[in-house]
Structure 1
């Protein structure tokens, strides 16, 4: 027995030693890919020494003798910190994720191959101006210089993820940067899925109530359109969703999680300092690391600093010494779905305007890890690529004997958006920026601009020219063989909405409707915001003049105009009514909740219970309103629509009929539904957050989920790579934290401002910015999440172009020196 005990002790020590050794070995190999920010590197591809000074937040300040050398160094710095992220963006756009992840990503690759983004990007390189071509080549050379260093110096394959998904990294090419810009267009675009949802809903309830559940944004109405079943007959009524579950690696998102943003500017007359101000916070899905990367470039045209996306040589939102610019999603209706009739005698042909036309076809092979390769037959019509029925729920709106094709401005092989964006970055005045934007195609963006004297807002991107006789005005899928349904080129750039030096001295956009023009000059039928704009307007007009700090205050504002409106409507007949109820009963819980909400100002503060009560109530209320009419299609309406709920309560155009449950014999009122849905909400809160409704916290439900797209679901590793934070804000606050709307945690914050910047041209170096995680993509780096807590608390870091400040707080200085012959 004693001998057995001794052997058990020895075995235990051996297991512990082996475990510790394994962990140490893993840490050693993973840490090998941590870059050293100090030292001199001999590289090929630059004309003179370049200096990369990293300040104490690891923001690289890059100084070189030529612009090409500076962009070379930016590519080098991006690759040092975000190589894995860059390769994933490239693989996603190329449709090559399945080489690493197997069948999990096969659906994503199929979509990307059918869009054929990479072929379009390669072709688009030829139409860039010479300066842009030189920039793209220099940037690619910088990325490849780091790859060479990784390969030559055994630098842990460049990123710890490479050990788990070992696959050669191809050299970076100029087209790789162009295709990432197209990938951004996919993240910002949602009109395709909106058309599908509108068509599906029309098939279920017809057009009579369609304006309620899918309301137009307030403004001039749209002329009545035919029902989808009338427009495209013989579509089977099928409402169950066939779309696969959301994947963090997928670039296409549900419409409610498409791109969003805030931007506003004040001219000298509305600024306390007598100089212009600008604030911008673009919204994208939260990830770890953030998609954003802060950088400063010293160019021949002057210094620029702001937010970049690794993989592209662009400061997308930022400032120079005398000008700043910010982006918001423009929601331009730049996607259309076409129903293409197949030739019954030859499935390789589709109906054209003048008869049967052959598809443009070619095969594309997808390599699948641990599985057989998949060969896709890619088909294009004159309208665009053909998408299969199992993508985007297209099969639910396609009649037999037909397929669907997609028209989209991003599907251009003559796309000069990169040239335009680089010209904007080098511009010195508002007028120069406006001129530079003419070549921009996609993704459509509202560009807010401020130089030292002027402010402006301009919509960038191609506006499709549609025929006034278009059957559905681009709101529903339509037959592709009818000439009046096809695009007729694009409108001239001068027709894009533009606002310069407004009389009130303030300009801004929260993805709201910017212009009200009749079809076909309409820009869009569907916009991204009807709510935040109301709070923004009040904050801007509440002060005669603004400061940098008042712009920061507005950027971080968490008061919900929507919550104030909807809680008042839903509780109109419930406040302070009913008899006293004993503790623990549903009636008592309802009274407590109503008492809390009656004194609430709509602030979506993470420490308060009222935001959670309101959010759960509004969600439950909409579910009760629509589930009897829509059935399984109810699952597609994941977020309460404030305009819909207000229409119902105010009985606009008879919308109050939604409150009556059509399957029941009783005639329910909106007060009945409000009371029942509040009970639903309180029951959900009790089951998920505890019995004491007055003690729950919004922040416990509204957790920001910065997840690693690849390792975020891996046990143990997810504790290292994922970042979780209790956050304020909500779906409709200026400090926007869009909730997931699905699953067991429907109020998780999954889509928010990954970048915030506020630029003050009275004292430009007092400008500030922040990102949601940190500069490094390496989980073992201290810069992986160091900015995240500042972001959560609403704090910023200095945004200075002063080289002495960067050097004084430098955590490393890398000097790139031209290699000898």
Structure 2
């Protein structure tokens, strides 16, 4: 009874206390005039103001009103101050150490002086609006999270919002969407057990091995000559205890950074645009659904920002998806142009293996040039604990990341006596550690009207590197690749120098030589086939255009989208908004298409063991939530990966099961004697391909008997493949159940899977089928009638768990449904359910 009373008190009193009034008149000091805010049934604010500064001040006020704790959490993470917020939590202190080593906040402060005066005025206005909401409100009036944290730590009034807090958020975006960072380290870790570069290369096939289509065709760009440096081999000490320890230490440190946007192979996105020649309306259609980490609240904050009179002094008339903590719209449309973003996947990071002696590093081995490292000391304040002093060291390549955490000494040395070349360390070169003008690009995209405007904005979009697809109301469709991408020499060495492996820091020939000229970045306008698909696949065929990277998503999502588009075109059926939404929900599995024909050839004598295999006969490869065949097949896939590769790879480099692993296994099916089929753990026994395939089939049947039911007819993919959204601070197992259950929405069953168009990603290396990433939102923009566009986000517009808009879109999102997206003044007024007024 007491527990019930406590729950009711927490819910009714504590949790509801921070809820704002969406129909009130509020004073916002600094406004130059009155601002009107109309909210629709989903609580989406549509803001009308007379100046751009008033628009962004209002957006800051509304973000603080609905999502301030999310903003405060993000700025503590991005400035390396998380322990100040949550207390003496080891994971928070480790995250602070790594982010302080990167210096995200320092780079953001440099960017403040680099961006345009207009952008600075917008960021200042936004901060002014945030601070107007914070004024005279205690922490418990801002968010229930402060009340809960106050049980264990001291909760002070939040610091005023600073414009640089917004810029620092861009570093988190860039970090989570950074390209081939994971693959580069994974190659080095795989070598530690395989000790064979050719075997490692087999696990990292080139994009062309998938046989799928790049975003643009070869005729769109001319080939460029590689910058080649002929030289003798520059040896790296692959497989030595010293280097393995340095790589392990660097990996542990970088894995300590909280996931704020999305990470891993399953964090991709779909986008495509179709010409008006192929649509029922006669104007283009654009679809986008970024696949990111999913949590509560969702990452996106929907908003519309309208100048009362759109002109040069107030140019914004834009609607879409924003980040709480940053002004403007990241993805969406204005009155002339719609744009979608997917992660480009360009290689913007490199790990340098350094030879370090005390506080010097070897700059040039041939010249025996040792130079001083840059050093500083950071002080990490811990709420309720002692401060932590953190020494930070950097080389010219970037910060040294292998000695940030105490995960084991970096042992050994390149010489027998341990003195001549000291120890190994690992530094990180990353384009986002140089100040850039991405903030300018966000505002420029918001007012872009044609391809030339998009190109100009893209030249400012330094990090993270993204694919931009766009369409205009006057009938054009296009593609533009932005981003700061390093140029690397082709150096003859023990491993490729193209950015796919760590490189020797003591050889200057491996240093970056500059960046790809923005004018050379790939772009296209109105291609002949009438559509563009950008879903993280390679941008161009190998050897064409600038070298952007090697480690792409292998294109099974993009190829499936292309197939669905071309089939409908061949059938002579014109595209509608409904067709675009239907394609986003496609759950056909390329994994099943590649493996099931071979799996059905395996002979299983026991009828009980064969009951699962029988489900695969006649299966259409759809992975809907009710499918028993999908449940069984994915269990087979999980078990096949573990049986085939877990004996060969270190524990932190096990197969996740994404698109790369599909190419690896598909190609291995043609090589029954491939060494990976053999299980190293069984001495004096040489396993064959068919033995492992049969083992995976049988163990999957037994696993699902335990996990679901003895009767295969009771199996369903959704019962295994659930999404359980978690609050980043209060949603974990260490939080009292009454709070955890309140802030975490209920689990939902999902269709789809990794590298499927409906990309609800799961990680096979964990043994679980739980959804880890997915479409963080879905949108379709109809350039013929912007009011006919649709959108949905994974949770809702509010960050307050007590708000009806905290997770009111979740069930619709999970079912593949969307909502009307009003844009015109008339449509907004018709949909409005609450109206608030902000006054000076």
Paired residues of 1:190 and 1:254 also in contact (CA < 8 A): no
- How far apart, in 2, do the equivalents of 1:264 and 1:272 lie? 17
2:342 pairs with one of 318, 325, 328: 328
Matches within 5 A, 1:144-155: 144-151=131-138
Using the alignment, how far apart are the partners of 2:811 and 2:409 within structure 1?
A: 44
Q: 1:132 aligns with which of 105, 109, 119?
A: 119
CA distance in 2, matches of 1:305, 1:794: 21
Q: 1:643 aligns with which of 639, 663, 673?
A: 663
Aligned to 2:191: 202
Which secondary structure does the structure 2 equivalent of 1:737 belong to? coil
Alignment match, 1:730: 753
- How far apart in 1 are the matches of 2:698 and 2:360? 56
Equivalent residue of 1:439, what SS? coil
- Per-residue displacement from partner, 1:774-796 (whole Å, max 9, x unpaired)? 11111111111111111011111
Q: Are residues 1:183 and 2:172 paired?
A: yes
Query: 1:661 is matched with which residue?
Result: 679
Q: Is the 8 A contact 2:791 2:821 kept in 1?
A: yes
The farther-off stretch of 459-468 and 663-672 is: 663-672
Match of 1:214 in 2: 204
Aligned 8 A contact 1:468 1:519 in 2: no
2:21 pairs with one of 36, 45, 62: 36
Rounded to whole Å, the distance in 2 between the matches of 1:795 and 1:538 is 23
Cα gap change, 1:227/1:803 in structure 2, threshold over 3 Å: closer, same or farther? farther
* Partner in structure 1 of residue 716 of structure 2: 697
Q: Which residue, 57, 65, 82 being the options, matches 1:97? A: 82
Separation in structure 1 between the aligned mates of residue 405 and residue 479 of structure 2, nearest angstrom: 36
CA distance in 2, matches of 1:564, 1:170: 55
| Structure 1 residue aligned with 2:618 | 599
2:776 aligned partner: 754
Deviation at 1:359, TM superposition (A): 1.4
Change (3 A) 1:404 1:89: same
For 1:227 and 1:777, the matched residues in 2 are separated by: 58
Matches within 5 A, 1:664-683: 664-683=683-702
Q: Does 1:569 align with 2:591?
A: no
Secondary structure of 2:386 counterpart: coil
Shift of 1:298: 0.5
Please list, as runs of the form range in 1=range in 2, the aligned pairs for 1:343-354 lying within 5 A after superposition.
Answer: 343=357, 347-353=358-364
1:348-363 aligned at under 5 Å gives the runs: 348-353=359-364, 355-363=369-377
The equivalent of 2:609 in structure 1 is 590
Partner of 2:642: 623
Query: Paired residue for 2:807, among 768, 776, 785?
Result: 785
- Match of 1:406, SS state, is strand
1:416 aligns with 2:416: no
**Contact map agreement 2:625 2:718 (CA 8 A) in 1:** yes
CA distance in structure 2 between the partners assigned to 1:331 and 1:393 by the alignment? 30
Aligned equivalent of 1:582:
none
Instruction: Please say if 1:160 is aligned against 2:160.
Output: no
**Structure 1 residue 449: Cα displacement:** 0.7
Aligned positions of 1:287-436 closer than 5 A: 287-299=295-307, 300=310, 301-343=315-357, 347-353=358-364, 355-389=369-403, 401-413=423-435, 415-436=436-457
Is the contact made by 1:755 and 1:770 (CA closer than 8 Å) also made in structure 2? yes
Q: Residues 626 and 392 from structure 1, CA distance in 2 versus in 1: closer, same or farther, beyond 3 angstroms?
A: farther
Q: Tell me the SS of whatever aligns to 1:218.
A: helix
Aligned to 2:832: 810
Superposition pairs of residues 407-556 of structure 1, within 5 angstroms: 407-413=429-435, 415-452=436-473, 453-469=475-491, 471=493, 472-518=497-543, 521-544=546-569, 545-556=574-585
Name whichever of 211-220 and 228-237 sits farther off: 228-237
- Hey, what does 1:142 align to over in structure 2? 129
| Cα separation, partners in 2 of 1:392 and 1:684, compared to 1, 3 Å | farther
CA distance in 1, matches of 2:297, 2:378: 32
Q: Helix, strand or coil for the counterpart of 2:516?
A: coil
1:573-629 deviation per Cα after TM superposition (whole angstroms, max 9, x unaligned): 22xx455xxxxxxx2233221221111111110011111111110111121112333
State the shift of 1:463 in Å. 1.1
Q: 1:634 to 1:307 in 2, by over 3 A?
A: closer
Q: Distance in 1 between matches of 2:388 and 2:544?
A: 43
The residue aligned with 2:764 is: 741
Structure 1 counterpart SS, 2:648: helix
589 and 391 in structure 1: CA distance in 2 versus 1, 3 angstrom threshold:
farther
Listed one character per residue, the Cα deviations across residues 169-221 of structure 1 (whole Å, up to 9, x for unaligned) are 11111111111011111111252332111012123221121222222222599
Q: Which runs of 5+ in 1 are unaligned?
A: 1-14, 580-586
What per-residue deviation string (whole Å, max 9, x for no partner) do you get for residues 205-264 of structure 1? 2112122222222259999x999995335731859966669789444976335x311000
Q: Which residue does 1:231 correspond to in 2?
A: 236
The 3-state SS of whatever aligns with 2:490 is coil
Q: Which residue of 2 aligns with 1:612?
A: 631
Change (3 A) 1:21 1:691: closer
Q: Could you tell me how far apart the structure 1 residues matched to 2:636 and 2:175 are?
A: 33
CA distance in 2, matches of 1:721, 1:176: 25
Superimposed CA distance per residue, residues 712-742 of structure 1 (whole angstroms, 9 cap, x where no aligned partner): 1222222211121111111121111001435
- CA-based RMSD of the aligned residues comes to 2.8
CA spacing shift, 1:20–1:626, aligned 2, 3 Å: closer
Q: Structure 2: which 5+ residue stretches go unaligned?
A: 150-154, 212-225, 415-422
**TM-score (norm. length: structure 2):** 0.88
SS at match of 1:338: strand
Is contact 2:190-2:650 (8 Å) kept? no
Pair 1:486–1:249, CA change in 2 (3 A): closer
Bigger drift between 764-773 and 430-439 goes to: 430-439
